[in-house]
Structure 1
Amino acid sequence: MSEETTMGREFEIVREYETEAAPEQVWQAVTTGTAAWLWPMEFEPREGGRAAGGGVITAWDPPHRLTSRVEDPEGIGGMPQTLNVLDHLIEPREGGGAWVRYVHSGIFTGDWDDQYDGASRHTDFYLHTLRQYLTYFTGLAAVHSDVQGPAASMKPGSFAAAVRALGVEDAAEGDTVRVDLPGTGPVDAVLDFRNEHFAGLRTGDAMYRFFGRDAWGGPVGIALHRFGPDAAASREEAQEAWRSWLEGVYA
């Protein structure tokens, strides 16, 4: 094992994007509305306050700047990563809306190239989902669910089977498709994101995110962001329906 692998190596992922949402709406999404596009996170609203994952807030300037930092020499969240810094810079855009600069930085240990590739590609998908939320659901509270596929879905190339099972293998990004959603039934949905590793479906009251983490040694996964009035009451039912669906795909 090389010294670089043992000690780690710094990384930085930078993305800039614009949105029609106001800076205050972006701020809400990245502080109290994370369940709508990422996963539920809590922040103690002050500099020096607690951040998600056992971190600390190093910048809290609503609605302009949010920075959090997590450091653990033993690894963060079971990942070979010893430092994780997330920074959102939000500025008003001339004519309305907001401009955002997002920076994810830190230190990876282990296979740096693989981790960087995975983190970079996930960043694009997560920020796309954030913009979808800001465009179609901004201000709405979400019920988040995360469902992981069985061990069989970890085999490289497994994600294609989930895409086929959804019936969207021939659809293009932006198409409206008819899909039979587990626990919901047939609905019209927009295929708002599609590449070899990820797919996103958006309906009138939910966003479904499909992750081909088999490319980086993990299982195929699904994140549900549901905004309907019955979403909380049916959370466990929805999770079980999608879990059974994944098990069927990879049986």
Structure 2
Amino acid sequence: MGHSFESRDEVEVAATPEQVWDAIATGPGIDSWFMGRNEVEPGQGGTVRTFFGGYTPSFAVTAWEPGRRLAYGSPEAPDGRFVAFEFLIEGRAGGSTALRLATSGFIPGDDWADEFEAMTKGNALFFHTLATYLSHFAGRTATPVTAFGPPVADWTSAWTALRRAVGLGDDPAVGDTARFTVDGEHIEGHVYSVNSQTLGIVAPGGMYRFLQGFHGPMVAGHHLFSTVDTTTAERAWQAWLIDTLSGRDSR
């Protein structure tokens, strides 16, 4: 059976077209808002690669117009699975930029619905993170920090514990204040993206994101705009997730 999909997102940000291009078309730029580590081989016919745990997709660049248009996608698998992305950039008066993203693809199988829901909610977080990066940190490069929590049997309880640990109520909304402490560092920021499977918080030093892993653990996928030892930070965040989701007070 399977399911074909297409979605469109648009945002206007206080960043130049050049800054937007750097964010979507360079490895360090993508590192600053997407997930894991990223590499870009520039030019049409080039490649965009992501390294996120054991997930290492490779996308062929099909359009490369610096400052205007970027498109890339995965090869079609034997079962028909693929995903493709197209970014359109348009400069506006006053130094702002309109950014449009079209995402399309195909998910195979009769059980596509759960995967599609997880992908849709995850993609919403990624796009909001890109917009937040361009609005707050344009021109800067972040260090991505990724940590995986323990297996989750009850996601309702896990999200309740997570919200409590970051100082949020049961029904958080964009703009709500979040406060939490990790490895002795107190962090205060506000929610910039939230849905039933993701949470994004922006603070002066970075963007902190939590995702419901598809058939897996809760994932912390952060972007820190400071000098940080990745190994130490990821261990601290893994310990924080374990404490939080086990019911121990991680604050």
TM-score over 0.5 for the pair: yes
Q: 1:61 aligns with which of 56, 60, 65?
A: 65
Residue 30 of structure 1: how far off its partner (Å): 0.8
Structure 1 equivalent of residue 166 of structure 2: 166
In 2, Cα distance between equivalents of 1:45 and 1:206: 27
Q: 1:23 aligns with which of 17, 20, 28?
A: 17
Pairing 1:235–2:230 present: yes
Structure 2 equivalent of residue 91 of structure 1: 90
What do the CA deviations read for 1:108-128 (whole angstroms, capped 9, x no partner)?
013222222222222221111
Given that 2:206 and 2:224 are in contact with CA atoms closer than 8 Å, whether structure 1 keeps it comes out as yes
Q: Alignment partner of 2:186: what SS?
A: strand
In 2, Cα distance between equivalents of 1:140 and 1:89: 21
Q: 1:66 to 1:160 in 2, by over 3 A?
A: same
Residue 44 of structure 1: how far off its partner (Å): 1.2
In 1, Cα distance between equivalents of 2:188 and 2:25: 31
What do the CA deviations read for 1:2-40 (whole angstroms, capped 9, x no partner)?
xx1xxx432112112211211111111111201111123
Structure 1 equivalent of residue 138 of structure 2: 138
Q: Which amino acid aligns with 2:127?
A: L
In 2, Cα distance between equivalents of 1:17 and 1:177: 24
Given that 1:87 and 1:104 are in contact with CA atoms closer than 8 Å, whether structure 2 keeps it comes out as yes
Structure 1 equivalent of residue 74 of structure 2: 70
Q: Alignment partner of 1:71: what SS?
A: coil
Name the TM-score, length of structure 1 as normaliser: 0.84
Q: 1:106 to 1:11 in 2, by over 3 A?
A: same
In 2, Cα distance between equivalents of 1:192 and 1:69: 27
Structure 1 equivalent of residue 30 of structure 2: 34
Q: 1:187 to 1:101 in 2, by over 3 A?
A: closer
Residue 90 of structure 1: how far off its partner (Å): 0.9
In 1, Cα distance between equivalents of 2:231 and 2:65: 36
Gaps of 5+ in 2: 50-56, 247-251
Q: Which piece of structure 1 moves more, 137-146 or 66-75? A: 66-75
Residue 165 of structure 1: how far off its partner (Å): 2.0
Name the TM-score, length of structure 2 as normaliser: 0.84
In 2, Cα distance between equivalents of 1:187 and 1:51: 33
Identity %: 32
